[in-house]
Amino acid sequence: MSLVDLPRVELPETAPLDAGAAAEATSGGPAPGPNPTLVLVALATGGFAIGTTEFAAMSLLPSFAPDLGIDAATAGHVISAYALGVVVGAPIIAVLAARIARRTLLVALMVLFALGNGLSALAPSYPWMLVFRFLAGLPHGAYFGVAALVAAALVPRARRSQAVSRVIAGLTVATVVGVPLANGIGQLVGWRWSFGLVALLATGTAILVRIYAPLGEPARGASALKELGALRRGQVWLTLATGAIGFGGLFSVYTYLASTMLEVTHASPGAIPPVLALFGLGLTVGNLVCAWAADRALMPAAGLTLVWSAGALALYPYATGSLWTLGPVVFLIGCGGGLATILQTRLMDVAEDAQTLAAALNHSAFNVANALGPWLAGLALTAGLGLPATGWVGVALALGGLAIWAVSFLAERRGGVVPAAR
């Protein structure tokens, strides 16, 4: 075939010819698609970076508080600033970026995340640290939401939850590997190097995503107005509320776990990292198992996960007397974290043509849980109920999430709603 015989390729004026399309145009055949494994590894690397900074920042409070001239209680606002960035950034970015190709958006989000963490490493004062942590939190929810959509598009519908779980696995593995690594670096050479490490990971993620991820052009007719349409759908709100309430139980225990070990279990400080690692291991196992279950029966999997969480949290008050009982129960509580993957997939079913906003809001909901759980547990402690009572607070929140799930499930059944295939 000569060059003049090649078929003419018509391109949209706003879409440049990418490498795959160029290969197809010049060879006369379809270009090889993206390698799903490499794409998922690239996306999970971003999850690892986000998980490392989100959880490690808590353990670095004693290090950066005196350096910035503040006490431990004030330093806690640094964590809140990051969470606020997640809650605010997820919906705003998702709406404003509705017409941007997904790969381009993911790269931009990781560059912003790298910038926020790099500046955090250089923060000269407490006010600037608040600003930089808020900045670092802005891309968090949007990144996970868009990455989940990219991952789900790589595989058949029957395996999309498992694909999403591979992205979230980056975060869960970070609680086992990344957090201890960042904490160790912080103790050896200073807390600023820990944030610098995250900035490097984010930069590497941006490069990997640019190389391996498909372009992912936005859907035809995509707009900010269409994305906002997700907020008019009751099932979207019910799904988000399930996560915001039901996931709060896990955080009510995790926040005070170290204090419980020291004051109730009477464990040595050296026992805290292994138990936290057990929690992270539980998150990782739960993420994979729940994804497998969700691909077979999504809504039942969500309900059973909430029942599991309530049961595991109910064991916690009775397990705090000994490390031998506490460790296994903390692992079981961590397994309940698989709810994140299930609800991420559920939002793909109920969001219709507002996928990006709904997917990003999932992580805003979990950060609401991250604030609600510790706050309610703190009220229980102020009332003099004792540290083991944080488990009962968790049970109440898990059951609250289960009640919202039941409303969602029954409403869908009565309405005859069947999620459309995608």
Q: How many percent of the chain have pLDDT more than 90?
A: 36
Between CA 336 and CA 254 the distance in angstroms is: 12
- Within this chain, do residues 176 and 252 fall inside the same structural domain, yes or no? no
pLDDT at 27: 41
Residue 24 lies in a domain: no
Higher pLDDT, 358 or 145: 145
Residue 10 lies in a domain: no
Least confident range of 106-115, 271-280, 399-408: 271-280
| Inside any domain, residue 67 | yes
Confidence of residue 21 (pLDDT cuts 50, 70, 90): very low
Cα separations in angstroms, 80 against 76, 253, 365, 380: 7, 18, 15, 20
Contact status, residue 226 vs residue 353, Cβ threshold 8 Å: yes
| Joined tokens for residue 117 | 């963490």
CB-based burial of residue 24 (10 Å sphere; 0-12 exposed, 13-18 middle, 19+ buried)? middle
- Structure confidence at residue 3 as a pLDDT band (50, 70, 90): very low
Residue 385 has pLDDT above 80, yes or no: yes
Positive or negative, the CA dihedral 12, 14, 16, 21 is negative
| Owner of token pair 């992270």 | 280
Mean pLDDT of the 401-413 span: 92
178 in the same domain as 163:
yes
Average pLDDT over residues 169-187: 83
221 pLDDT tier (thresholds 50, 70, 90): low
In which domain, by residue range, is 262 found?
225-413
Confirm if 217 and 15 have CB atoms less than 8 A apart: yes
**pLDDT over 50 at 145, yes or no:** yes
More confident of the two residues 56 and 218: 56
Instruction: Say whether both 179 and 248 belong to one domain.
Output: no
Look at the chain and report how many structural domains it folds into: 2
How far is 72 from 58, CA to CA, in rounded Å? 11
- On whether the CB atoms of residues 289 and 339 are closer than 8 A, the answer is no
Give me the pLDDT at residue 422, please. Answer: 39
Mean of per-residue pLDDT scores for the chain: 83
Residue 364 within a domain = yes
The domain spanning residue 208 has which CATH number?
1.20.1250.20
CB 51 within 8 A of CB 171: yes
Range from 59-63, 138-142, 239-243 carrying the lowest mean pLDDT:
59-63
**Same structural domain for residues 135 and 152?**
yes
pLDDT confidence tier of residue 224, bands split at 50, 70 and 90: low
Q: What would the pLDDT profile of 288-307 be if each residue is shown by its tens digit?
A: 999 999 989 889 999 999 99
310 and 185 share a domain?
no
Domain assignment of residue 42, yes or no: yes
- Average pLDDT for 211-237: 73
| Cα–Cα distance, 235 to 270 (Å, whole number) | 45
Poorest-pLDDT segment among 30-34, 176-180, 376-380:
30-34
Query: 128-131, long-range: CB within 8 Å, 24+ apart, which pairs?
Result: 129/64, 129/68, 129/78, 129/81, 130/77, 130/78, 130/81, 131/81
Whether 20 has a pLDDT exceeding 70, the answer reads no
Query: Based on the domain organization, do 133 and 243 belong to the same domain?
Result: no
Q: Which of 218, 243, 271 is the last residue of a domain?
A: 218
Q: What is the pLDDT of residues 97-142, one digit of tens each?
A: 878 888 999 999 999 999 999 999 999 999 999 999 999 999 998 8
Pair 109, 258 in one domain: no
Output b/e per residue, 244-279; b: 16+ Cβ within 10 A. Answer: bbbbbbbbbbbbbbbebbeebbebeeebbeebbbbb
Tokens standing for residue 118? 């790099």
In a domain, 3, yes or no: no
Among 218, 252, 273, the domain boundary falls at: 218
At residue 407, the pLDDT reads 94
339 and 195 housed in the same domain: no
Query: pLDDT value at position 289?
Result: 93
- 257 and 203 belong to one structural domain: no
Whole-number pLDDT of residue 364: 82
Mean pLDDT is lowest, of 2-6, 160-164, 177-181, 387-391, for 2-6
Whether the pLDDT of residue 205 is over 70: the answer is: yes
What's the pLDDT at 331? Answer: 95
pLDDT over 70 percentage in the chain: 86
Q: Are residues 275 and 175 in the same domain?
A: no
Handedness of CA 219, 224, 225, 229 (dihedral sign): positive
Look at residues 196, 218, 240 and tell me which one is the last residue of a structural domain: 218
pLDDT digit string (tens) for 334-366?
A: 999 899 889 988 888 887 766 777 777 888 888
| Average pLDDT, integer, range 71-79 | 74
**Whether residues 402 and 306 fall in one domain:** yes
In this prediction, residues 367-380 reach a mean pLDDT of 84
41 or 96: whose pLDDT is higher? 41
- Evaluate whether residue 20 is within a structural domain: no
More confident residue, 187 or 115: 115
Instruction: Tell whether 4 is covered by a domain.
Output: no
In sequence order, what DSSP letters do the residues of 370-421 get, joined into one string?
HHHHHHHHHHHHHTT--GGGHHHHHHHHHHHHHHHHHHHHHHHHHHT--PPP
Domain match, 235 and 141 both = no
How far is 277 from 271, CA to CA, in rounded Å? 10
